[in-house]
């Protein structure tokens, strides 16, 4: 089994790369998706978040109001750290469970947005960073996700710098240009991952 950490700044195209890797046969463990699952209604995770942040972070249906919670934590490093202290251990436990279920020769890709920020590189055999210039990220967030420029800049500022991500990269996938060429770049990386998984 080859354990790959996949990361990239918001708007860099990491989700697209993880989708392409799954198409090629990777087992994907998506930290964001698991982070949503561990705070679904009636979970201990959601109860802990409400205890820490108050019932105002709940939507009318009892689910977590993500935009509201986001507006609280993204502007305040201490509150963000408090949220991470609740969610990250739950995500880690579920990720480990999914990894144990994968085949022995699998390429297991952990899609981890905050890999650099949380010093998680040592957990993986290899770290793949999806890279784009900050101007490209900003443009995508505003045009494709409909964020205001101010909100997009705040989200980007809450993450590690591009330099810090590149520092931990074993493999860099350049996704600064149009999507058309991305598949070929992912093919080359996939071939290398499969080779390493077999060697392992």
Q: What tens-digit pLDDT sequence spans the chain (200 residues)? A: 999 999 999 999 999 999 999 999 999 999 889 999 999 999 999 999 999 999 999 999 999 999 999 988 988 989 999 999 999 899 989 999 999 999 999 999 999 988 999 899 999 999 999 999 999 999 999 999 999 999 999 999 989 999 999 999 999 999 998 878 899 999 999 999 999 999 87
3-state DSSP assignment of residue 37: helix
Angle formed by the axes of helices 66-73 and 77-100, nearest 10°:
120
pLDDT for the residue 16: 94
pTM of the model: 0.82
pLDDT for the residue 141: 95
pLDDT for the residue 182: 94
Task: Let me know: does 108 contact 2? Beta carbons within 8 Å.
Answer: yes
CATH superfamily of the domain spanning 1-26+106-200: P-loop containing nucleotide triphosphate hydrolases (3.40.50.300)
pLDDT for the residue 45: 97
List the chain domain ranges.
1-26+106-200, 33-105
**Interior angle at CA 128, CA 175 and CA 125, nearest 5:** 170
* Spatial distance between the Cα atoms of 121 and 113, rounded to a whole number of angstroms: 12
């Amino acid at each position: 089994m080859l354990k790959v950490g996949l990361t990239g700044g918001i708007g860099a195209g990491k989700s697209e790369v993880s989708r392409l890797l799954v198409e090629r046969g990777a087992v994907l463990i998506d930290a964001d998706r698991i982070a949503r699952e561990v705070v679904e209604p009636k979970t201990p995770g959601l109860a802990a978040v409400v205890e820490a942040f108050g019932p105002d972070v709940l939507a009318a249906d009892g689910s977590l109001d993500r935009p509201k919670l986001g507006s609280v934590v993204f502007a305040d490093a201490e509150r963000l750290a408090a949220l991470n202290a609740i969610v990250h251990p739950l995500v880690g436990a579920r990720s480990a469970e999914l990894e144990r279920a994968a085949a022995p020769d699998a390429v297991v890709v952990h899609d981890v947005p905050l890999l650099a920020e949380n010093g998680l590189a040592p957990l993986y055999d290899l770290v793949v960073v999806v890279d784009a210039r900050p101007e490209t990220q900003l443009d995508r967030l505003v045009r494709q996700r409909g964020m205001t420029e101010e909100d997009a800049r705040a989200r980007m500022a809450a993450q590690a710098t591009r330099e810090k991500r590149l520092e931990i990269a074993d493999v860099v996938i350049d996704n600064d240009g149009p999507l058309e060429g991305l598949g070929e770049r992912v093919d080359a990386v996939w071939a290398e991952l499969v080779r390493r998984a077999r060697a392992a």
